Amino acid sequence: MPSLKTALKGIRKELKGKEKVREKAQADMRKATSLSKQAILFIHQKRIREAEKLLEKAEEIILRLNETAKEYPEIVHGGLFNIALQEYSEARIFLKLIEESRFVTPKEINVPSIDYVLGLADVIGEFRRFALDALREGDVGKSEKCLQIMDEIYTELMAMDDAYMLVPGLRRKCDVARKIIETTRGDLTHEVRMQTLEKHLKQFEKLQRRKNPKKVV
């Protein structure tokens, strides 16, 4: 019959092994989150191919974590992994909208529905930045399209009825999203008014020059 010392030695070895798995998994989760964040930055910088490569790396890490979860579900599943999945979902959704003007599905990117929905809510903030960049470039039409996408995401999330209440943190994200959309609409309206005013002023100046042409000496 094994002694208590032998039994505890085995337990200690098991716990040390789990701790190594935990440390590796947490490092992978942070890496996947970082890669997705960087991919979003690259999308804004129009470095699409580089963003795709980063998301491919993030996908590999997530697949590895899913494999680890089969043996150690209590280690993998939790806060850090959910954050990584949400950030990855946000980046994938944002990229597909920019590249193909369509919404990628949870099944396509192999993420849980809840993490997909929470990542989707955060896409609204990315499109505000896209809309502001378009305004700075003088492209009101592009900014309006961004606002339309933001409105569509928000409206569809709010229309989830009972499911809306079953996604932890979604209400807070939607409250933030609503404010972002209102602010963006205000920015866009202001820019449209400014451009309209400038157009009228130019027309007025042109008309005045016609009425009062300079005398040729």
Q: Coil, helix or strand for 137?
A: coil
- Structure tokens of 58? 């993030």
Check residue 214 and give its pLDDT. 60
Q: Round to whole Å and give the CA distance between 55 and 140.
A: 30
Q: Which residues of 38-48 are buried (b: 16+ CB within 10 A; e: fewer)?
A: bbbebbeeeee
Q: Round to whole Å and give the CA distance between 83 and 114.
A: 11
Contact by Cβ (8 Å): 87, 119: yes
- Domains for the chain: give ranges and CATH numbers: 17-111 (1.20.58.2140), 120-207 (1.20.58.2140)
Which pTM does this prediction carry?
A: 0.84
Q: What is the pLDDT of residues 116-171, one digit of tens each?
A: 999 999 999 999 999 999 998 889 899 999 999 999 999 999 998 777 778 889 99
Q: What is the pLDDT of residues 50-102, one digit of tens each?
A: 999 999 999 999 999 999 998 889 888 878 999 999 999 999 999 999 999 99
